[in-house]
Structure 1
């Protein structure tokens, strides 16, 4: 496989990063004005994430660093990694303006072990909307295992592959329109917008994406030598993933308005290197 997907996807994220930082949906003003503010995603994670004080954490695919900063505010020693230079400009500015001691590294996620070193981290954290940009879930799991020290753990909360397989253009019913399982060839999208509120106009609109079935993800983690310690499916997700069919809760999470038990929207997977 060529690296064309990296070029296209990086151009897309580089262009969107400043718009995301300026959007009210990312709450940068609250990070800047409220020293104890923790973002909605990490707040949702906390009951399962537990105490991270003093842990050496790497946040893979960290984007503009809001969740990275939230982890640091929980007491972790955090490194953020992303392949988008424009995203890291925003992340470094946010850390500097809030006085957070966070290292941000520009690299592709598959290169994380060679760039950051093997066995360096107590916790690998990956958040919502990361895995769909990667063509091989097995290679990702091997990278995670390589980054962890003995006794370290993986914490992943992601959009559920059943949600990624659902066609959001249908606003009155649930329709499966995309692959559930990982395929060699990407799904190719051309989207002029983005997932946050913004007036910005974009030109780098083509992206390559992949879905990965839940069984494929679990198997990849196990085959990489990690031990599964938790798998929880959720009926909520932190964005309006199916417009016209969802409502937003006070927590910021979105759920199906009718019969939410029909569809898992996200999941939390935990694993350890024992």
Structure 2
């Protein structure tokens, strides 16, 4: 693993299971919500799937299974790739409580076993602040392409690059020049929800934030045809862009 991946693993295994129970409910409570209306739990991401039944989905940095479990309930065969064993525990317990099943690979995304997973998936899906954990977007997107079958679909939903210059989402992350290529130490996503004494103990992550053009060129450069690029309003201020979704198609015809 890269050194920064080990750092991220320590951050995402700091009290993670307890955090999910506190903020999302017990696995049983979360599962009840997922079962009641899985499409609602997917939010606007549901609209980017052509179908759910029988497709193989790689959920990149799928965390506690908040999207993987609803996808599985809708009929998808979902594999989470995530660095945190605590996230795996919560996700697997939630899936079991929901009466469905998911796969979960605890690993560095840059070290996914391609002997097993190359060309395996119909859809690669990520959402909610993923790209900034990886310092070379071209390397990252090439791995995403390798996971897909010919004609497979990339659904990349993430924080809008304008968050580089303004804390649009109120995540308490530092801001910088829009064109900065700096790798910087920053708090992991949950740190702001703890009291100051515990907050200081949580390991930092090493982030690299991208511009819109870097993201688009990373997708195209990896061999995808870019089909859509949608911008979504911030949940804090709907007059500002908070997230985006890029849709790419792996070149070549599906078998």
Q: Say if 1:153 and 1:192 are closer, same or farther in 2 by CA, change over 3 A.
A: closer
Show the counterpart of 2:14: 15
Show the counterpart of 1:247: none
* Structure 1 CA distance for aligned equivalents of residues 72 and 202 of structure 2: 32
Whether contact under 8 Å (2:28, 2:94) holds in the other structure is: no
* Structure 2 CA distance for aligned equivalents of residues 200 and 37 of structure 1: 38
Gaps of 5+ in 2: none
* Structure 1 CA distance for aligned equivalents of residues 148 and 85 of structure 2: 25
- Are 2:89 and 1:89 equivalent residues in the alignment? yes
Shift in Å at residue 29 of structure 1?
5.0
Show the counterpart of 2:48: 48
Whether contact under 8 Å (1:167, 1:178) holds in the other structure is: no
Show the counterpart of 1:239: none
Q: Say if 1:136 and 1:36 are closer, same or farther in 2 by CA, change over 3 A.
A: same
Show the counterpart of 1:234: 232
* Structure 2 CA distance for aligned equivalents of residues 218 and 107 of structure 1: 26
2:218 pairs, out of 220, 228, 236, with 220
Structure 2 length as normaliser, TM-score? Answer: 0.85
* Runs of 4 or more consecutive aligned structure 1 residues displaced over 6 Å after TM superposition: 168-171, 197-200
Show the counterpart of 2:105: 105
Gaps of 5+ in 1: 237-253
1:206 pairs, out of 186, 204, 221, with 204
Count of aligned pairs = 248
Show the counterpart of 1:124: 124
Q: Say if 1:266 and 1:145 are closer, same or farther in 2 by CA, change over 3 A.
A: same
Show the counterpart of 1:5: 4
Shift in Å at residue 31 of structure 1?
3.0
- Are 2:165 and 1:188 equivalent residues in the alignment? no
Shift in Å at residue 190 of structure 1?
4.7
Q: CA RMSD in A?
A: 3.0
Whether contact under 8 Å (1:113, 1:143) holds in the other structure is: no
